[in-house]
A and B are shown apart, each in its own frame.
Chain A
Amino acid sequence: EAGVVQSPRYKIIEKKQPVAFWCNPISGHNTLYWYLQNLGQGPELLIRYENEEAVDDSQLPKDRFSAERLKGVDSTLKIQPAELGDSAVYLCASSLSGRSYNEQFFGPGTRLTVL
Chain B
Amino acid sequence: KQEVTQIPAALSVPEGENLVLNCSFTDSAIYNLQWFRQDPGKGLTSLLLIQSSQREQTSGRLNASLDKSSGRSTLYIAASQPGDSATYLCAVRLGGNNRLAFGKGNQVVVIP
Q: Which residues of A contact B (CB under 8 A)?
A: 4, 6, 31, 33, 40-45, 48, 56, 91, 93, 95, 97, 100-109, 111
Q: Select from chain B the residue with minimum beta-carbon distance to A40.
A: B104
- Also in contact, A42 and B49, with CB within 8 A (given A56-B97, A108-B42, A109-B43): no
- Bound-complex Cα distance A31 to B97 (A): 12
Q: Name 25 interchain pairs, CB-CB below 8 A, sorted by A.
A: A6-B43, A40-B105, A41-B104, A42-B4, A42-B89, A42-B91, A42-B102, A42-B103, A43-B100, A43-B102, A45-B99, A48-B97, A48-B98, A56-B97, A56-B99, A101-B32, A101-B49, A102-B98, A103-B46, A104-B46, A106-B46, A107-B43, A108-B42, A109-B42, A111-B41
- Bound-complex Cα distance A6 to B43 (A): 10
Interface size class of B (residues with CB under 8 A): 20 to 34
Within the complex, the shortest CB–CB distance from B34 to chain A, in Å, comes to 7
- Bound-complex Cα distance A95 to B44 (A): 14
- Bound-complex Cα distance A81 to B66 (A): 43
Q: Which 7 A-B residue pairings sit nearest by Cβ, starting from the closest?
A: A42-B102, A106-B44, A108-B43, A106-B43, A109-B43, A103-B49, A107-B43
Which chain A residues border B34 with CB–CB below 8 Å? 103-104
Contact string against A for B residues 18-42, beta-carbon threshold 8 Å, 1 for contact and 0 otherwise: 0000000000000110101000011
- Bound-complex Cα distance A27 to B14 (A): 40
Which of A31, A42, A91, A100 is most buried by chain B, counting CB atoms within 10 A of its CB? Answer: A42
